[in-house]
């Protein structure tokens, strides 16, 4: 845990006219971990990623990626050699063929692995002679992924890497991400595929209206979040159950449902003091945590 973060933002902000896409974001992404970046459409994920990659200039604030400042042109150039990425609408030249695109991209990167590129080409069933403009959305995504995965980067930054992929493609992608992590790459990726995120991520960040609502380890979320359903002979007032960790309470007749981010034991003890006739405790899946967290705000 003594490793410096691979991404560290300081009040990173981007406004487009009156609209603020990312507001004073202070995000820290740890080394050697798979970190997922969740948020609704328009939450500011892509803007954040584009700022980190130097594709969009921040309105104010700054960030370090692999210890290099994104606002410094020279450092930005250095960091891009060590970061592989897939951005939203990855700019691929539509008049090139798949193999021309690969040859073109590979010339930029000293860490390019031709063998690995060849393996991915056949695994992804990409046709070398096919023109980029005739590729389907999913195949375009695969080509963009190939360009990122054929390198040996210290950090992978991926914006919606599963966009347009079929279930087999998604499984391949997850496996590749895991293998890259095993090779020592840190991974930061945005996704709407919460069930997939839940399988491979070590850490989860939730962005909402340009603000960071959560940055927590998935292990910790698994252990601490609980849904507690209680039945009473006559339901007590909700405030009697509002203790630390209780995020939401819903009463329906004599039943009370509690969404707790921590402290489930204490909630249960309190419910017992209030003479609950039944207590049902269930773990909470990441999808529900995400929805509850985002809706609350």
Partner 1 sequence: MGLFFKLNPTTGQPLYLQLMQQIRHAAETGALRDGDQLPGIRTLAEELVVSPNTIVKAYSELQHEGLLDLRHGSGAFVCVKRRTRSMADDVQFARRRLRDLLDDLRDNGLTDEEIKRAFEAELLYPAPSTQLTRKR
Contact window for partner 1 (CB under 8 A) among 157-165, 239-247, 252-260, 270-278: 270-278
Q: Which residues contact 127 (CB under 8 A, 6 or more apart)?
A: 98
Contact window for partner 1 (CB under 8 A) among 102-110, 132-140, 248-256, 263-271: 263-271
SS3 of 236, please? coil
Which residue lies nearer to partner 1 by CB, 195 or 237?
195
Candidates 188, 225, 259, 290; binder of partner 1 (CB under 8 A) is: 225
Which residue lies nearer to partner 1 by CB, 23 or 33?
33
Task: Compute the least distance from the CB of residue 170 to partner 1, in Å.
Answer: 10
Distance (Å, rounded) from C-alpha 107 to C-alpha 20?
Answer: 37
Task: Compute the least distance from the CB of residue 163 to partner 1, in Å.
Answer: 19
Could you say whether residue 277 binds partner 1 (CB under 8 A)? yes
Could you say whether residue 280 binds partner 1 (CB under 8 A)? yes
Contact window for partner 1 (CB under 8 A) among 65-73, 88-96, 177-185, 245-253: 177-185
Candidates 60, 77, 127, 282; binder of partner 1 (CB under 8 A) is: 282
The Cα diameter of the chain in Å comes to 73
Q: Please list every residue from 71 through 130 that binds partner 1, using CB under 8 A.
A: none
Task: Compute the least distance from the CB of residue 199 to partner 1, in Å.
Answer: 5
Could you say whether residue 8 binds partner 1 (CB under 8 A)? no
Tell me the per-residue interface mask from 181 to 220 with partner 1, x by CB under 8 A, - otherwise: xxx-----------x--xxxxx---------------xx-
Query: b or e along 125-161 (b: 16 or more beta carbons within 10 Å of the residue's beta carbon)?
Result: ebeeeeebeebeebbbbbbbbbbbbbbbbbbbbbbbb
Distance (Å, rounded) from C-alpha 212 to C-alpha 226?
Answer: 22
Could you say whether residue 242 binds partner 1 (CB under 8 A)? no
Distance (Å, rounded) from C-alpha 188 to C-alpha 177?
Answer: 10
Binding-site size, partner 1 (CB under 8 A): 40
Residue with tokens 């590729």: 135
- Alpha helices by DSSP H, the chain: 45-52, 73-82, 98-106, 114-123, 137-149, 167-182, 194-200, 218-224, 264-273, 286-296
The two tokens of residue 149 are 């995965």
Could you say whether residue 256 binds partner 1 (CB under 8 A)? no
SS3 of 129, please? coil
Could you say whether residue 3 binds partner 1 (CB under 8 A)? no
* HSE-up (13 A, CA, CB side) for residue 238: 12
Q: What is the DSSP string of 47-67?
A: HHHHHHTTSS--SEEEEEETT
Could you say whether residue 29 binds partner 1 (CB under 8 A)? no
Candidates 106, 236, 284, 292; binder of partner 1 (CB under 8 A) is: 284
Sheet containing 83-86: give its strands across.
Answer: 83-86, 155-159, 186-190, 34-38, 203-208, 211-217
In the complex, the residues that contact partner 1 under the rule CB under 8 A are 32-34, 171, 174-175, 178-179, 181-183, 195, 198-202, 218-219, 222-223, 225-226, 264-265, 268-269, 271-272, 276-286
């Amino acid at each position: 845990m003594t490793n410096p973060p691979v991404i560290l933002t300081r009040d990173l902000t981007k406004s487009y006219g009156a609209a603020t896409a990312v507001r004073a974001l202070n995000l820290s992404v740890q080394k050697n971990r798979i970190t997922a970046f969740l948020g609704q459409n328009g939450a500011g994920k892509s803007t954040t990623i584009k700022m980190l990659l130097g594709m969009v200039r921040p309105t104010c604030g700054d960030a370090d990626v692999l210890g290099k400042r994104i606002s410094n042109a020279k450092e930005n150039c250095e960091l891009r050699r060590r970061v592989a990425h897939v951005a939203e609408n990855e700019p691929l030249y539509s008049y090139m063929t798949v193999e021309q695109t690969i040859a073109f991209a590979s010339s930029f990167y000293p860490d390019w692995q031709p063998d690995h590129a060849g393996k991915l080409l056949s695994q992804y069933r990409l046709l070398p002679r096919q023109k980029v403009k005739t590729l389907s959305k999913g195949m375009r995504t695969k080509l963009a992924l190939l360009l990122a995965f054929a390198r040996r980067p210290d950090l992978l930054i991926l914006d919606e890497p599963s966009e347009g992929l079929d279930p087999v493609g998604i499984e391949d992608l997850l496996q590749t991400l895991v293998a890259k992590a095993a090779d020592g790459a840190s991974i930061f990726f945005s996704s709407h595929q919460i069930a997939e995120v839940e399988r491979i991520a070590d850490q989860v960040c939730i962005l909402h209206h340009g603000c960071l609502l959560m940055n927590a380890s998935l292990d910790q979320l698994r252990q601490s979040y609980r849904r507690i359903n209680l039945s009473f002979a006559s339901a007590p007032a909700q405030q009697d159950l509002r203790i630390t960790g209780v995020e939401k309470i819903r009463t329906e007749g004599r039943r009370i449902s509690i969404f707790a981010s921590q402290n489930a034991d204490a909630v249960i003890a309190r419910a017992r003091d209030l003479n609950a006739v039944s207590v049902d405790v269930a773990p909470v899946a990441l999808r529900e945590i995400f929805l509850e967290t985002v809706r609350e705000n």
